Structure 1
Amino acid sequence: MERGTQQDAAARFDPLRPRLIRVAYRMLGSVADAEDVVQEAFIRWMGVDRAAIREPEAFLRRTVTRLCLDQLKSARVRRETYVGPWLPEPLVGDDEEEEDVTLPLMLALERLSPLERAAFLLHDVFGLAFEEVARTIDRDAAACRQLAARARTHVRDARPRFQVEKQRGLEIAGAFFTASRSGDMTSLGALLAQDVSLHSDGGGKRPATVRPAIGFGQVIQLHKALTVNFRKHGSTLLRTCLINGLPGFVTREADGEVQTTALDIQDGRVTAIYIMRNPDKLRHLH
């Protein structure tokens, strides 16, 4: 009888797992950490008196959010000693749902306090009423409204105003790959905005820029230098796709490791380039 009850509990949990991972990933910016948090929530779910829980999804969302809040405290300490720019782990695919929290917005969320981040995500992204947000993060509804409002002010500029149409974005991503790897700086320059920036996360594990390259001149100069390496060692395009809601591509580089490049595109020009090279953040892609 007990085994049947446990199986029923697992069967109720499994359909919710993808949604819970989405919540945890947006809180933490790490696929592995999100999966660990959701697994811990599963263990707690299996150990509670489930007959007393009227809304399993709400209970599990609260559990995941609170575990994430605890984890964010230690994550902030780790980020202070991180080598070079920090980028969230890339989510690769063509899932339209990922477009609600694009990579620039994920970076903007990093500047929020953990509670502001939770209130904003739960209300503005996942559509929960402030009363439910309040129960989730143990604050009253009025405080949650203030937290979300403060968060909105900080992230307003990071939300895309004129999002590029998906197919057009993927075409630009393909053209960017071809121009950057062939050394065609004229074609590459035609794709870039004047205020373009480049952010590369190697995490101290693989070569990457220690500081972002800012402006058209710096980004072109960096690609000129990289062209020598691409011509000598090669760079293989595996696919163009959405990466955290942005058009981009996945490549296999000369060292055998995969790499993701995501492009923020406004008015048909690339305004930001986000390159993930840290192998620890690319394991889930293998």
Structure 2
Amino acid sequence: MQIDLSGKSAIVTGSTAGIGFAIAQGLAEAGAEVTLTGRTQERVDSAVQTLKADVTGAKVSGVAADLGSTEGCQALIAARADTDILINNVGIFGPQDFFEIDDDTWEQFFQVNVMSGVRLSRHYAQGMKARGWGRIQFLSSESGLNIPAEMVHYGMTKSAVQSISRGLAKVLAGTGVTVNAVLPGPTRSEGVVNMIAQMAEQEGVSQEEMEARFVKENRPSSIIGRLATPEEVAHMCVYAASPQASATTGAPLRVEGGIVDSMA
């Protein structure tokens, strides 16, 4: 199977590094014209240049915007009025004791992780519907099913986007637009690597040892027994964005290494 996205446009939110960048690279390699997004112009410009260097002939550009706000989403929409493929990847996370999570933090996580995708999907899905083809994805997580005690606020947002994905797929039934949620497990994204590095420093062990301990202690049901790579997650996203995935919609697409101990 050869995925060809020539002539298609794509927006990948939160794509200056990690999973988002890997998805953008995969889409560019398949021939899509890709828009990267990030909060600062410096990081966006750097990611665009890196992607152009990595993928010969890549058609890639960037928009700097804080998508955790209405204004930021509108700025992206103003810069890119339409797209064929929307990957709602932007998100924040971090462990915190439930009793120390204040209202502002709950609201921040909800705005960035959930409402960014709601606002952008509400706009871009209309053009997709009118054209009779489109792909929308929400990056959820295995933490949306196995809510982590140390990140209840994060798990809540990932459950929410999975619900939105399923509901929006029903709204767009019969239009040629598919909507899916992608559920990575712990992945070597920039945020996770930095978190494990901090933990390793606190424990006085190597980052490699800390990574192995993290999976064993925090995700003991993992079948692969390791962190996934951003590229492994991106492969699923590129397939779900392709014409070949036309019968895949309303689905939770799991790339979590078998952590979720369920066949459903």
Shared fold by TM > 0.5? no
Q: Identify the structure with the greater helix proportion.
A: 1
Range class of TM-score, shorter chain: under 0.3
Q: Larger Rg: 1 or 2?
A: 1
